[in-house]
Amino acid sequence: MAGTDFEEARKKAEALRREIDEHNYRYHVLDQPEIDDYAFDMLMRDLINLEETYPELRPPDSPSLRVGGEPLKAFSTLEHRVPMLGLDNAFSEEEIKDFDARVRKLSGLEIIDYFCEMKFDGLAVSLRYEDGLFISGSTRGDGFTGEDITGNLRTIRQIPLKLEEPLTLELRGEVYINKKDFIKMNRDREEQGQTIFANPRNAAAGSVRQLDPRLAATRPLRIFIYGLGEHGLKVSTQAELLDYIAGLRLPVNDNRAICRGTEAVWNYCLRWQEERSNLPYDIDGVVIKVNDLALQKILGNTARSPRWAVAFKYAPEEKMSRVLDIIVNVGRTGAITPVALLEPVALSGTIVQRASLHNEDLVREKGIMIGDMVVVRKAGEIIPEIIRVAENLRTGKEQEFNMPRHCPSCGSDTVRLSGEAALRCLNLSCPAQLVEKLVHFASRKAMDIEGMGPSVAELLYHHNLVRDVGDLYYLNSGQLAELPRMAEKSAENLINSLEKSKGNPLRRLLFGLGIRFVGEKASRLLAEHFGELKAIGEAGLEEITEIDEIGPKIAEAVVSFFKMAETGLVLEKLEKAGVNFTEPTPEKTNSELTGKVFVFSGSLERFRRDQAASLVEDKGAKVSSSVSSKTDYLVAGDEPGSKLTKARELGVAVIDENQFIKMLNL
Ligand code: IVH
């Protein structure tokens, strides 16, 4: 009988791998996920379980191996069969015309078709596939040999571990990190006292060029493919080549275009110079390539770079401003961050008047003094950053900045813990920390208490109405109405949203409590595993680390959080006030909706999209962002657009907001 079991497991594992690969592609390459993260995690868990029972069922291209292999002692090197060349630069329209004149002269043609692409600001890599399997990947290195970073590249979900055709070829591309992911990554690092990355490119390069694939797996790395190394493909233009690569399900950038002659090329350059701040990733220019591959071959290469391509480089937008003052900000975990207040200056589409200086070491490294004229730029085109001091403009009146010896909020001694870049206030009842904790507790992804932003939190604290998050639930409208700048209506709204928040699932409460290292995901995992808050509080290290994806660092933070006397007091207040301490199990609440797939389209009157989504998820249903044959209901709000058309085409049930509310028994 064992043989049959094995055969069944083999089929099941194969089907799971196919399904997971498909979802990976939809999510990471097409940006059109069909199932939510939770459903995806469940598929992956099933596969991992099967492969653990039958290790011989795990092929080297299994998506379960993306989590990262054993750390390396050092990188080995890999030789590039076709060298990875650099590009010549052009800095003006004139220089693009010079390049075009050379190409026309060498080819004898009058007008050239160019292929224009984004110049991604990341790290160049080469990927090698043999008989359709991803077998190795390397950095550019000196152009002839690079470092073997296969283990790290395998963790990038956009890279297929197996191609649909058994091809042997080398792909060239750029690994990068999106601006938003970079900001979040740095924010987390700052919270945890780690040093931060200067920009998305350094973050990407730092993540790829370190030895632990498990660490790489936690970094939001992405890739765009823009060319080939060794290959046997029969394609005749760069445009066809990229279409072909996209057809192999690898990520190719959409903003590519054929431009005939230099005028069209120049317009392309100008267009993306204007629009680059709206792109989700950093570009530092445009790459202009001769489109015809046969002509590329004729033109050939110099020792360093191809004669058939040139990079037009954008100057990063930089402005001068004056440091009016340096203040410090106390975060929710007590981390004290210096912030430069700047003379307002317009930069990449916004007015900049503050720039975080992150920590003391950075202020020293850059030598920033109060009163200095400084050069400002936006890191990742989003966060203002001081690049350097214009020392030649110093008057002698500038003042040195020192981090405070005492917390500016509570006066406690500030401490720099060993191994941390951040200075901290360790006083658990520090007002600034408490106010930040209230703000976090009320934030959208936590308890979602509308009307509890920073100014209200500050007001509540300074009028002695609230000392911790437990006190929030004992406020009454009379107390609130007496506060300055608080209208009767706002007071009422706040009370209502507090009342509503009591019913939130445990995962939101847990996230809101702000336990160190416990973000949204860990909160969900803990809530789902234990089902109720008390069980988490009673759990030991071992029990917690049994949960997949929860490591000892998180587990220790959870255990020590529940050991603190303060925690007990806050939880008691929350419980007495009737705040929900349990995580709903989908099956129990409403079996009719379990497993159904909802898509929302257009704006709803009574809910934000994320609220509506969590309502159906709490009932065991799933939410998808696009309509497909797997969709059960399209909830059509105002101006539902193309999703409605698609739903009608596919015969998917369309319901309006009222029907939706009825369906959920709200
Ligand atoms: S083509 C032989 N295309 O720019 C042609 N390169 O100095 C080689 N880069 O390190 C490169 N975006 O990593 C090409 N769309 C693009 C690119 C691109 C960024 C980087 C590449 C290389 C550098 C060239």
**Which ligand 1 atom is at minimum distance from the Cα of 89?**
7
User: Percent of the chain, pLDDT > 90?
Assistant: 65
Q: Are residues 572 and 592 in the same domain?
A: no
Does the residue 72 lie in any domain?
A: no
Q: Are residues 198 and 286 in the same domain?
A: yes
> What's the Cα-to-Cα distance from 281 to each of 121, 158, 188, 491, rounded to whole Å?
8, 16, 19, 41
Q: Are residues 181 and 157 in the same domain?
A: yes
Q: Is the pLDDT of residue 557 over 70?
A: yes
DSSP letter string, 260-296: EHHHHHHHHHHHHHHHGGGSSS-EEEEEEEESBHHHH
What is residue 311's predicted lDDT score, i.e. its pLDDT? 95
**Contact partners, residue 600, CB within 8 Å, separation at least 6:** 609, 612, 613, 623, 634, 635, 637
Residue 179 Cα to ligand 1 midpoint, Å, equals 20
Secondary structure string (H, E, C) spanning 555-589: HHHHHHHHHCHHHHHHHHHHHHCCCCCECCCHHHH
DSSP 8-class letter at 391: G
Q: Which two tokens stand for residue 544?
A: 């917690």
Residue 173 Cα to ligand 1 midpoint, Å, equals 8
CB atoms within 10 A of CB 81: 10
Residue 211 Cα to ligand 1 midpoint, Å, equals 25
What is residue 426's predicted lDDT score, i.e. its pLDDT? 92
Q: Tell me: the pLDDT tens digits for 418-436?
A: 888 889 999 988 999 999 9
Q: Are residues 512 and 621 in the same domain?
A: no
What is residue 93's predicted lDDT score, i.e. its pLDDT? 95
Query: Which of 119, 121, 304 maximizes ligand 1 atoms within 8 Å of its Cβ, making it the mutation to test the pocket?
Result: 119
Query: Which of 114, 116, 120 maximizes ligand 1 atoms within 8 Å of its Cβ, making it the mutation to test the pocket?
Result: 120
Q: How many whole angstroms separate alpha carbon 372 and alpha carbon 183?
A: 26
Angle between helices 454-462 and 431-442 (to 10 degrees): 130
**Which ligand 1 atom is at minimum distance from the Cα of 253?**
15
Nearest 5°: phi and psi at 341? -95, 125
- Residue 654, SS3? strand
**Which ligand 1 atom is at minimum distance from the Cα of 85?**
2
Q: How many whole angstroms separate alpha carbon 596 and alpha carbon 652?
A: 12
User: Percent of the chain, pLDDT > 70?
Assistant: 98
Q: Is the pLDDT of residue 162 over 80?
A: yes
Does the residue 84 lie in any domain?
A: no
Q: Is the pLDDT of residue 533 over 90?
A: yes
* Ramachandran area for residue 249 (φ above 0: left; ψ -120 to 50: alpha; else beta): left
Query: Which of 142, 171, 174, 269 maximizes ligand 1 atoms within 8 Å of its Cβ, making it the mutation to test the pocket?
Result: 174
Q: Which amino acid is at 386?
A: I
What is residue 587's predicted lDDT score, i.e. its pLDDT? 54
Q: How many whole angstroms separate alpha carbon 337 and alpha carbon 360?
A: 8
Q: How many whole angstroms separate alpha carbon 89 and alpha carbon 375?
A: 24
Q: Is the pLDDT of residue 31 over 80?
A: no
Helix segments in 602-656, DSSP class H: 609-618, 642-650
Helix segments in 332-486, DSSP class H: 360-366, 431-442, 454-462, 477-481
Judge whether 119 counts as a catalytic residue: yes
Does the residue 647 lie in any domain?
A: yes
Apex CA 578: angle with CA 572 and CA 582, to 5°? Answer: 85
* Distance of alpha carbon 573 from the chain centroid: 35
Q: Is the pLDDT of residue 222 over 60?
A: yes
Q: Whose CA is nearest to atom 21 of ligand 1?
A: 124
Q: Are residues 177 and 248 in the same domain?
A: yes
What is residue 349's predicted lDDT score, i.e. its pLDDT? 65
**Which ligand 1 atom is at minimum distance from the Cα of 117?**
15
End-to-end CA distance of the chain: 50
Does the residue 172 lie in any domain?
A: yes
Q: Are residues 303 and 359 in the same domain?
A: no
What is residue 12's predicted lDDT score, i.e. its pLDDT? 94
Cα four-point dihedral sign 474, 479, 481, 484: negative
Question: In CATH, what number is assigned to the domain containing residue 327?
Answer: 2.40.50.140
Question: In CATH, what number is assigned to the domain containing residue 299?
Answer: 3.30.470.30
User: Using a 6 Å CB cutoff, which residues line ligand 1?
Assistant: 85-87, 117-120, 124, 140, 174, 226-227, 287, 306, 309, 311
What is residue 399's predicted lDDT score, i.e. its pLDDT? 97
Q: Whose CA is nearest to atom 23 of ligand 1?
A: 86
Residues 515 and 557 sit within 8 Å (Cβ to Cβ): yes
What is residue 1's predicted lDDT score, i.e. its pLDDT? 47
Catalytic residue among 11, 97, 119, 622: 119
Q: How many whole angstroms separate alpha carbon 454 and alpha carbon 474?
A: 19
Q: Is the pLDDT of residue 586 over 70?
A: no
Nearest to 469 by CA among 484, 477, 480, 457: 457
Last residue of a domain, one of 336, 363, 393: 393
Q: Is the pLDDT of residue 2 over 60?
A: no
- Mean per-residue pLDDT, 205-211: 92
Does the residue 404 lie in any domain?
A: no
Banded pLDDT at 194 (limits 50, 70, 90):
confident
Q: How many whole angstroms separate alpha carbon 547 and alpha carbon 555?
A: 10
Residue 555 Cα to ligand 1 midpoint, Å, equals 43
Q: Are residues 374 and 420 in the same domain?
A: no
**Contact partners, residue 263, CB within 8 Å, separation at least 6:** none
Q: Are residues 309 and 345 in the same domain?
A: no
Does the residue 77 lie in any domain?
A: no
Q: How many whole angstroms separate alpha carbon 409 and alpha carbon 330?
A: 8
Q: Are residues 328 and 466 in the same domain?
A: no
Question: In CATH, what number is assigned to the domain containing residue 601?
Answer: 3.40.50.10190
Apex CA 601: angle with CA 595 and CA 603, to 5°? Answer: 125
Does the residue 564 lie in any domain?
A: yes
Query: Which of 91, 226, 269, 291 maximizes ligand 1 atoms within 8 Å of its Cβ, making it the mutation to test the pocket?
Result: 226
**Which ligand 1 atom is at minimum distance from the Cα of 123?**
13
Q: Are residues 569 and 617 in the same domain?
A: no
Residues 472 and 499 sit within 8 Å (Cβ to Cβ): no
Residues 107 and 296 sit within 8 Å (Cβ to Cβ): no
Residue 119 Cα to ligand 1 midpoint, Å, equals 7
Structural domain of 273:
89-313
Helix segments in 341-483, DSSP class H: 360-366, 431-442, 454-462, 477-481
Q: Whose CA is nearest to atom 18 of ligand 1?
A: 119
Last residue of a domain, one of 576, 608, 636: 576
Question: In CATH, what number is assigned to the domain containing residue 28?
Answer: 1.10.287.610
Question: In CATH, what number is assigned to the domain containing residue 537?
Answer: 1.10.150.20
Q: Are residues 232 and 289 in the same domain?
A: yes
Last residue of a domain, one of 280, 313, 346: 313
User: What is the helix (H) or strand (E) element at residue 375, kind and residue range?
Assistant: strand 373-379
Q: Is the pLDDT of residue 192 over 80?
A: no
Does the residue 597 lie in any domain?
A: yes
CB atoms within 10 A of CB 38: 13
Q: Are residues 231 and 333 in the same domain?
A: no
Q: Which two tokens stand for residue 514?
A: 């702000």
Query: What strand order describes the sheet that includes 309-313?
Result: 89-90, 309-313, 283-290, 113-120, 257-260
Q: Which two tokens stand for residue 509?
A: 């409460």
What is residue 71's predicted lDDT score, i.e. its pLDDT? 78
User: What is the helix (H) or strand (E) element at residue 444, kind and residue range?
Assistant: none
Q: Tell me: the pLDDT tens digits for 89-114?
A: 898 999 999 999 999 999 999 999 99
Number of domains in the chain: 5
Average pLDDT score, the chain:
91
Q: Whose CA is nearest to atom 9 of ligand 1?
A: 119
Q: Tell me: the pLDDT tens digits for 314-360?
A: 877 788 999 999 999 999 989 999 999 999 887 876 789 999 999 99
